[in-house]
Amino acid sequence: MSNQHQYVAIMAGGIGSRFWPESREALPKQFLDILNIGETLLQSTFNRFAGFIPPDHIFIVTAAQYVPLVQEQLPNLKPEQIITEPMRRNTAPCILLAANKIAAIDPDATFIVAPSDHHITDIPIFESALNKALDFASQTNTLLTLGITPTRPHTGYGYIQFDEELSKNGIYKVKTFVEKPPHDLAVSFLRFGDFLWNSGIFIWSAKSILQAFEKIQPDMYHIFNEGKHLYNTPHEKDFIESAYKATIGESIDYAIMEHADNVYVIPANFGWSDLGNWSSLWEKHDKDYYGNAASGKNIMVYDSENCMVRVKGNKLVIIQGLCDYCIIDTDDVLLICRLEDEQKIREINKEVIEKFGKRFS
């Protein structure tokens, strides 16, 4: 099918606090080559979509402070391809803004929403699933997401239960969303077999998602709809700022997906990781015989297993007798913590800011 009405909105405004101290507010993880592959996560994400979507149909939604970084890392982008959020309000307002701007350009648009920090290894399967989703979304009033077959009872992911009997050519009606379940529940989900990990990649027509907001989140919808005639004009900046100030931040899952009755999922396994924390990076990283993932020029590891070690510069770092630890050494911060406790990193970061100000943030 023709891709003249197909678009992508890449969300790239987060701070990446779970990757602190390498990811900082001034330079978050999406702008880092965290995989050591010669390109940043944002560049990888853009290039992945540019393989089958016209590059000038790909929009980056980001915070105002990161616009120069986006321009530096994606120099061929036109200024109008960068959608600027005046403040952080989670993913629902971000997606509503992108939907309004894309709809103003092309009322018949169908678009993909994707985070900027995913790692995908099987590109042909990824493209195939998305082309299937775009085709379906362009012909139906539906909200689609891609679901990943779970490989373990991960408690940091959202889960999607699908109806195995309600299938349309491998596209299944969603029964329910469950956000970050406790371990026992996650174990039972794997046993049931009709649960998928929520990849956080969504596909819909601009009309369908705007209708969903109008029905489920009418207050948010009307705030953004008041400036319908201002989108993609010189006057939109002030309006968007006032709209964001009047809007409560909420995720798209809580705001829309958990309440909508027209949600479908496509199960697809394309080597997905959301790279949300150090553990997920450790899983994707090259490791030695003992499971240690080391990144740095001068690292020596003894009697240690399953550690994540990252060192900048030429410093010699020697690790001995550690198991399941995360050791991150930057220019001004050294973090040593157990990988199983890494969810505390965000809280530690907050306490660091309280004690030292923004110096180490």
Residues 175 and 295 in one domain: no
Count other C-beta atoms under 10 Å from residue 57's C-beta. Answer: 21
Residues 180 and 318 in one domain: no
Q: Is residue 1 part of a domain?
A: no
Which of 236, 254, 273 is a domain's end point? 273
Q: Report the pLDDT value the prediction gives residue 168, as an integer from 0 to 100.
A: 73
Among 197, 203, 213, CA closest to 145: 203
**In the predicted model, what is the mean pLDDT of residues 118-125?**
93
Residues 129 and 248 in one domain: yes
Which of 273, 289, 322 is a domain's end point? 273
Which of 273, 296, 316 is a domain's end point? 273
Three-state SS for 177? strand
DSSP 26-76: TB-GGGS-TTSSSS-HHHHHHHHHHTTS-GGGEEEEEEGGGHHHHHHHSTT
Residues 217 and 121 in one domain: yes
Residues 102 and 80 in one domain: yes
Residues 260 and 285 in one domain: no
Query: What CATH number corresponds to the domain at position 86?
Result: 3.90.550.10
State which residues form the domain around 84.
6-273
pLDDT of 303 above 90: yes
Q: Is residue 29 part of a domain?
A: yes
Residues 92/256, Cβ–Cβ less than 8 Å: yes
Query: How much of the chain exceeds pLDDT 70, in percent?
Result: 99
Q: Is residue 120 part of a domain?
A: yes
Q: Report the pLDDT value the prediction gives residue 217, as an integer from 0 to 100.
A: 97
pLDDT of 356 above 80: yes
1: confidence class by pLDDT, cuts 50, 70, 90: low
Strands (E), 86-153: 110-115, 119-120, 143-148
Three-state SS for 267? strand
Residues 131 and 234 in one domain: yes
Question: Could you give the C-alpha distances from 140 to 127, 208, 341, in angstroms and in order?
Answer: 20, 8, 44
Q: Report the pLDDT value the prediction gives residue 44, as an integer from 0 to 100.
A: 97
Please, what is the angle between helix 91-105 and helix 218-225, to 10°?
A: 40
Number of domains in the chain: 2
pLDDT of 343 above 80: no
* Residue-wise pLDDT tens digits, 261-275: 999 999 999 989 888
In this structure, is the dihedral angle defined by the CA atoms of residues 204, 206, 209 and 215, taken in order, positive or negative?
Answer: negative
Alpha-carbon span 180 to 274, nearest angstrom: 14
Q: Report the pLDDT value the prediction gives residue 179, as an integer from 0 to 100.
A: 81
Residues 318 and 246 in one domain: no
Residues 154 and 217 in one domain: yes
Residues 62 and 148 in one domain: yes
* Residue-wise pLDDT tens digits, 44-80: 999 999 999 999 999 999 999 999 999 999 999 999 9
